[in-house]
Amino acid sequence: MQKINGKGIALQKLYSGKTKDVFLQDDGNVLLHFKDAVTGAEGLIDSGGNTVIGEVAGKGNASLRLTIYFFDLLQKAGIPTHFLSVGPTENTILVKQARSFNLEVICREKAWGSFVRRYGKYAREGMPLQSLVEFTLKDDERGDPLITKDALVALDIVSKQEVEYMEDTARQATALIKSHLASRDLELIDIKYEFGEVEGQTMIIDEVSGDSMRVVKDGKVLMQKELASALLEG
């Protein structure tokens, strides 16, 4: 058993991730604690990185507030998530327990970052991609490799129906978030989702925050706290 933030209620820790800790409650629901940790490489912050390179004070709270904001936006639009409520301790939310598919579902509006590095002969930074959906395995040892839809089904990772749902839902959620950000003069470049099974239903889980999307304002990619400030305080 472990106390959250060194105080409050003691809960069983299920998992300690790069940017969040996951705790099991007595009622079977889960508490997510957002940390100030940032990922990246060579001293540069990159939310898609697999290595924690330090902490930024207030980053966890920014991720928490954005996740609550976006989950509320999605749920009001009829897109289910496992979000339940704000948690009882600082920088926490309550969610339904989910069986994660251990995938990242990426929806790209423009070519950027790793996509350009991967397809540099054919792609240029900023070229439109019209909600291109990619699937990657959450596998740090192998660098989170791309995987095709057919391979997901052939390897029995998910069913064909689950693949189709994730692809369609990622595009639907992205269109909603892209439009909402545009109304605040913010441009969505790309966004990643995690899906899982909750009570027999496939849905978006984990978080939707500055850690899971690339947003540009006035030609600059915003960091997590900058996005929270521009969207929630502007």
Query: In CATH, what number is assigned to the domain containing residue 113?
Result: 3.30.470.20
Residues 124, 204, single domain; the answer is: yes
Domain boundary among 95, 129, 153: 95
Residues 77, 136, single domain; the answer is: no
Can you give the CATH number for the domain in which 57 is found?
Answer: 3.30.200.20
Residues 55, 107, single domain; the answer is: no
* Residue 187 near residue 220, CB atoms below 8 Å: no
Domain boundary among 71, 95, 119: 95
Residues 11, 91, single domain; the answer is: yes
The Cα 230–Cα 222 span in angstroms is 9
Residues 6, 109, single domain; the answer is: no
The Cα 82–Cα 94 span in angstroms is 9
Residues 140, 56, single domain; the answer is: no
What pLDDT is recorded for position 179?
A: 98
Residue 157: both structure tokens together: 């990772």
Select from 56, 61, 35, 34 the least CA-distant residue to 45. Answer: 56
Residues 34, 8, single domain; the answer is: yes
Residues of the chain with pLDDT under 70: 1-9, 40-50, 53, 234
Domain boundary among 95, 130, 163: 95
Max CA distance (Å), the chain: 54
**CB atoms inside a 10 Å sphere around CB 170:** 22
What pLDDT is recorded for position 57?
A: 87
Phi, psi (degrees; rounded to nearest 5) at 48: -90, 0
What pLDDT is recorded for position 6?
A: 54
* Residues in a beta bridge with 20: 34
Its domain, for residue 149, covers 99-233
Instruction: Collect all residues with Cβ–Cβ distance below 8 Å to 202 and sequence separation of at least 6.
Output: 162, 165, 166, 195, 196
Element (H, E) at 171: helix 160-182
Residues 110, 221, single domain; the answer is: yes
* Residue 185 near residue 217, CB atoms below 8 Å: yes
Instruction: Collect all residues with Cβ–Cβ distance below 8 Å to 71 and sequence separation of at least 6.
Output: 81, 83, 208
What pLDDT is recorded for position 131?
A: 97
Number of domains the chain is built from: 2
What pLDDT is recorded for position 17?
A: 84
Residues 117, 220, single domain; the answer is: yes
* Residue 4 near residue 23, CB atoms below 8 Å: yes
What pLDDT is recorded for position 4?
A: 61
Instruction: Collect all residues with Cβ–Cβ distance below 8 Å to 91 and sequence separation of at least 6.
Output: 5, 33, 34, 35, 60, 61, 64
Please tell me the total number of residues recorded for the chain in this structure.
Answer: 234
Residues 116, 201, single domain; the answer is: yes
Residues 65, 91, single domain; the answer is: yes
Residues 50, 103, single domain; the answer is: no
* Residue 76 near residue 97, CB atoms below 8 Å: no
